[in-house]
Chains A and B, each alone.
Chain A
Amino acid sequence: AQKITQTQPGMFVQEKEAVTLDCTYDTSDQSYGLFWYKQPSSGEMIFLIYQGSYDEQNATEGRYSLNFQKARKSANLVISASQLGDSAMYFCAMRINQAGTALIFGKGTTLSVSS
Chain B
Amino acid sequence: DTAVSQTPKYLVTQMGNDKSIKCEQNLGHDTMYWYKQDSKKFLKIMFSYNNKELIINETVPNRFSPKSPDKAHLNLHINSLELGDSAVYFCASSSLPRLAGGLSEQFFGPGTRLTVL
The yes or no verdict on A and B being binding partners is: yes
Q: Are A43 and B104 in contact (CB-based, < 8 A)?
A: no
Q: How far is the CB of B41 from chain A (nearest CB, A)?
A: 6
Q: Is there a chain B Cβ closer than 8 Å to A71's Cβ?
A: no
Residues of chain A within 8 A of B48, CB atoms compared? 100-102
Q: Are A50 and B88 in contact (CB-based, < 8 A)?
A: no
Encode B86-107 as 1/0 by CB contact (under 8 A) with A. Answer: 0010101010110011111111
Q: Are B45 and A47 in contact (CB-based, < 8 A)?
A: no
A35 to B31: give the CA distance in the assembly, Å: 17
Q: Are B100 and A31 in contact (CB-based, < 8 A)?
A: yes
Encode B104-115 as 1/0 by CB contact (under 8 A) with A. Answer: 111110110100
Q: Is there a chain A Cβ closer than 8 Å to B83's Cβ?
A: no
Q: Are B102 and A52 in contact (CB-based, < 8 A)?
A: yes
A33 to B103: give the CA distance in the assembly, Å: 7
Q: Are B100 and A89 in contact (CB-based, < 8 A)?
A: no
Encode B12-40 as 1/0 by CB contact (under 8 A) with A. Answer: 00000000000000000001010100001
Q: Are B43 and A54 in contact (CB-based, < 8 A)?
A: no
Residues of chain A within 8 A of B106, CB atoms compared? 35, 47, 101, 103
Q: How far is the CB of B75 from chain A (nearest CB, A)?
A: 18
User: In the complex, which of the residues A33, A35, A44, A108 contacts B101, with contact meaning CB atoms closer than 8 Å?
Assistant: A33
Encode A55-72 as 1/0 by CB contact (under 8 A) with B. Answer: 100000000000000000
Encode A1-28 as 1/0 by CB contact (under 8 A) with B. Answer: 0000000000000000000000000000
User: In the complex, which of the residues B31, B45, B92, B111 contacts A43, with contact meaning CB atoms closer than 8 Å?
Assistant: B111
A43 to B90: give the CA distance in the assembly, Å: 10
Q: List 9 A-B contacts (CB under 8 A).
A: A33-B97, A37-B108, A39-B41, A43-B111, A47-B108, A50-B105, A103-B106, A104-B44, A105-B42
| Interface pairs A-B: 5 shortest CB-CB | A45-B108, A100-B48, A100-B55, A52-B101, A105-B43
